[in-house]
Structure 1
Amino acid sequence: MSGPFSDEDEDPRKEFWYKVRSAVAVILSLAVLVGGAVFVGVKINDAYVAYKSADDYLGDGEKDILVRVPTGASVNEVGGILVDNDVVKSLKAFKKAVRDSSTEVTIQAGQYKLRTHMNAAKAVAILADPANIQHTRVTLTEGLTMDEQFTILAKATNLPKANFTAAVKQTSKLGLPVWANNKPEGFLFPDTYEVADNPTALGILQTQTKQFIKVVNTLNFTGQASNIKQTPYNALIVASILEKEAKSTKDKKIVAGIIYNRLAKGMKLQSDATVLYANGAPGKLTTTDAQRNFESPYNTYLHAGLPPGPISNPGADSMQAAVSPTKTDYLYWVVTDPEKGTTAYAKTAAEHQANVAKFRAWCQAHKGKC
């Protein structure tokens, strides 16, 4: 008996495996072709990236960095600065980006915020827009001494503090009013200033005195001082004391009136603020016996009358209060709550001592703040 298939019949199992092998062969061939194409594509892309990045970075950058462009710098010099700071990869890429810019590129002197490893064209776009210049602003609050101002200015401008202490001695160049008698303390007006590129200490101080004169003219300071029978210099001294002795405009005007009352009666001012200035100890509220006994013309516990000059650089509010005092019969004042700025007034020494007791109680309740 013969098997299930005759010799003429085709074995279906052989046909099945033949088709499977053919399909696998096709798949493998396609895989080789696709893999080769991917491989070639990767290589082409790598070659393109290598070509493009040979002289230039490709991205938006990595780390923020401030770069200063000096006055009069050429394209080559600016490019060199960027290369030195690792902003752009090469001078060649930077110059090409300048040439290829759709608009004429003008780079102004100043400080710019850029990034390391930047595409040169992106760096040029930032430098070409003056709005991207980073300006240095410094705020000098009211009531600071010159020395305190100089510390702040030195930190903000990276200029040595010694530059300011030397510049302030050039009184003939500061632009002080005649009635300053070449004494700059009190005339360096406190404000927020925008510092120019490559600043000088003298230039900054000149800007401050220029602003002082502007405020003096706006307030008619000298005219108002004359109206209350004070010289403008003495009124400025009073304003400098008010910055330390009172907070609100109302209190400044009352304290100014008390100061003039005491001066008229020949009483010593006994201002702790002047004593602290004499001892070179700003930032405190009270004085010690030793400080009050320290010999100095600025010590108003020892000497009657005003100190010989301002003890701070006052703002417009204190200057206005000094020439428009509130008239009262008070002869004493004391701040009873320094945090709130509460000030108590008295006509007699006994009343004043009761107010002083309130201040001392506040200090006991707020250790380390007096």
Structure 2
Amino acid sequence: MAFIKTVFLSAMVAAAAAGVGFAYWAQQPITEQEPAIAFTITPGSGAHAAGQQIAEAGVPIEPLLFNLLARVSAKSGKLKAGSYELKPGTTPMRLINQLARGEFAQESLTIIEGWTFKQMRLAMAAHEGLKHDTAQLSDQALMARITPEYKLPEGLFFPDTYLFAKGASDMQVFKQAHAMLMERLREAWEKRDPALPYKSAYEALTMASIVEKETGQKSERTMIAGVFVNRLKLGMLLQTDPTVIYGMGERYEGKIRKRDLEGDNPYNTYTRAGLPPTPIALPGAQSLTAALAPAKTDALYFVARGDGTSQFSGNLPDHNRAVNQYQR
């Protein structure tokens, strides 16, 4: 009888020690080494399969212990499929919680102010963290999936840095960037001066894209917009080179020639009055603001000084003198 009690007590002590050891293990870092280790849990995986996939990806963890911890913590049936990263210092318990909450590996993509939609699509297509669900869609087909309101995509996506889970659909980013642009445009349109010569928010967006391409000086954007607004009100040609360049497309090789200014197309603002039919780039927040809150100015002309700034003039003789001074 004494022997049985001794064996029983020994078993109890061993079990308690094992429990303490297991609890200690669950709170210790799996690894402290850089860099983070990427791994993927496939759909339909239980805790046992998830543990094996994590270990096979190079995470130094014992699948049986991982499976046991998932069950003991009541998270076994809550682990979410997806792409993850094990960062240095992560404990087994933190890893279980990460998978149960679906804290997927984060990726990012920055869309640059002034890019064309073509440049945006190329950047999206080159991003390895995205699932390229839209690769075979034309621009028009892509827009049809995003919104019934517009057929052509130029200017309709907001330049910003977007975060997404690794392996997310590129459609998710397209929709997010479009929704952000429409929200920013709506806010700016609601605050506009009613005297502005725009028939719609889309026309204001087109103006914003021209302002975006005309200057890299953020401080001058309201003045640039003021000049173009004045020209629109007077019925003058906008005569802005970025629209000509956009209309040339692949023919543009870094220089505009006289024949390019004289060759008529819908985007040549030297031959056609008013705004071009669509935006010519993706405008940022400051260009949107400038287009809908332009500077109050009498200027009708501007010319680059050569230092990144512009000289503004209210009449043609003054403008010609500025051109002679700064460009000839």
Select 2:198's aligned residue among 213, 216, 230: 230
In the alignment, what sits opposite 2:143? Answer: 171
Matched, 1:349 2:300: no
Question: What is the DSSP-based 3-state SS (H/G/I as helix, E as strand, rest coil) of the residue aligned with 1:163?
Answer: coil
Task: Verify the 8 A CA contact 2:209 2:287 in the aligned structure 1.
Answer: yes
Residue pairs, 1:247-326, within 5 angstroms: 247-280=216-249, 287-326=256-295
In the alignment, what sits opposite 1:239? Answer: 208
Matched, 1:85 2:48: no
Q: Do the aligned partners of residues 83 and 213 (structure 1) sit closer, same or farther apart at CA in structure 2, a change above 3 Å counting?
A: same
Residue pairs, 1:127-206, within 5 angstroms: 128-129=97-98, 133-156=104-127, 157-160=129-132, 163=135, 166=138, 169-175=141-147, 178=149, 181-206=150-175
Q: Which amino acid aligns with 1:336?
A: R
Q: Distance in 2 between matches of 1:135 and 1:343?
A: 42
Q: Distance in 1 between matches of 2:153 and 2:139?
A: 11
Q: Distance in 1 between matches of 2:252 and 2:40?
A: 36
Q: Do the aligned partners of residues 168 and 159 (structure 1) sit closer, same or farther apart at CA in structure 2, a change above 3 Å counting?
A: farther
Q: Using the TM superposition, give the Cα deviation of residue 149 of structure 1 relative to its aligned residue in structure 2, in angstroms.
A: 1.2
Q: Distance in 2 between matches of 1:240 and 1:127?
A: 47
Question: What TM-score comes out, normalization by structure 1 length?
Answer: 0.66
Q: Distance in 1 between matches of 2:108 and 2:168?
A: 12
Q: Using the TM superposition, give the Cα deviation of residue 243 of structure 1 relative to its aligned residue in structure 2, in angstroms.
A: 0.5
* Same amino acid, percent of matched pairs: 26
Q: Which amino acid aligns with 2:196?
A: I
Question: What is the DSSP-based 3-state SS (H/G/I as helix, E as strand, rest coil) of the residue aligned with 2:311?
Answer: strand
Select 1:68's aligned residue among 40, 58, 74: 40
Select 1:103's aligned residue among 48, 65, 73: 73
Question: Which runs of no fewer than 5 residues in structure 2 stay unpaired?
Answer: 1-29
Question: What is the DSSP-based 3-state SS (H/G/I as helix, E as strand, rest coil) of the residue aligned with 1:280?
Answer: helix
Q: Using the TM superposition, give the Cα deviation of residue 168 of structure 1 relative to its aligned residue in structure 2, in angstroms.
A: 5.5
Q: Distance in 2 between matches of 1:82 and 1:346?
A: 66
Q: Using the TM superposition, give the Cα deviation of residue 132 of structure 1 relative to its aligned residue in structure 2, in angstroms.
A: 6.2
Q: Using the TM superposition, give the Cα deviation of residue 252 of structure 1 relative to its aligned residue in structure 2, in angstroms.
A: 1.6
Structure with greater Cα Rg: 1
Q: Distance in 2 between matches of 1:72 and 1:335?
A: 61
Q: Do the aligned partners of residues 133 and 206 (structure 1) sit closer, same or farther apart at CA in structure 2, a change above 3 Å counting?
A: closer
Q: Distance in 2 between matches of 1:342 and 1:285?
A: 20
Matched, 1:215 2:184: yes
Task: Verify the 8 A CA contact 2:105 2:166 in the aligned structure 1.
Answer: no
Q: Distance in 2 between matches of 1:349 and 1:127?
A: 71
Q: Do the aligned partners of residues 159 and 295 (structure 1) sit closer, same or farther apart at CA in structure 2, a change above 3 Å counting?
A: farther
Deviations 1:24-56 (A, max 9, x none): xxxxxxxxxxxxxxxxxxxxxxxxxxxxxxxxx
Task: Verify the 8 A CA contact 1:186 1:311 in the aligned structure 2.
Answer: yes
Indicate the larger mover: 162-171 or 94-103: 162-171
Question: What is the DSSP-based 3-state SS (H/G/I as helix, E as strand, rest coil) of the residue aligned with 1:353?
Answer: helix
Q: Do the aligned partners of residues 351 and 71 (structure 1) sit closer, same or farther apart at CA in structure 2, a change above 3 Å counting?
A: farther
Q: Do the aligned partners of residues 330 and 60 (structure 1) sit closer, same or farther apart at CA in structure 2, a change above 3 Å counting?
A: closer
Q: Which amino acid aligns with 1:153?
A: M
Q: Do the aligned partners of residues 264 and 173 (structure 1) sit closer, same or farther apart at CA in structure 2, a change above 3 Å counting?
A: same
Question: What TM-score comes out, normalization by structure 2 length?
Answer: 0.73
Deviant stretches of 4+, over 6 Å: 281-285
Q: Which amino acid aligns with 1:163?
A: A
Q: Which amino acid aligns with 2:143?
A: T
Q: Distance in 1 between matches of 2:48 and 2:69?
A: 16
Q: Distance in 1 between matches of 2:151 and 2:313?
A: 38
Q: Distance in 2 between matches of 1:222 and 1:87?
A: 53
Q: Distance in 2 between matches of 1:201 and 1:282?
A: 29
Question: What is the DSSP-based 3-state SS (H/G/I as helix, E as strand, rest coil) of the residue aligned with 2:267?
Answer: coil
Q: Using the TM superposition, give the Cα deviation of residue 249 of structure 1 relative to its aligned residue in structure 2, in angstroms.
A: 5.0
The alignment covers a number of residue pairs equal to: 291
Task: Verify the 8 A CA contact 2:204 2:291 in the aligned structure 1.
Answer: yes
Question: What is the DSSP-based 3-state SS (H/G/I as helix, E as strand, rest coil) of the residue aligned with 1:169?
Answer: helix
Question: What is the DSSP-based 3-state SS (H/G/I as helix, E as strand, rest coil) of the residue aligned with 2:67?
Answer: helix
In the alignment, what sits opposite 1:38? Answer: none
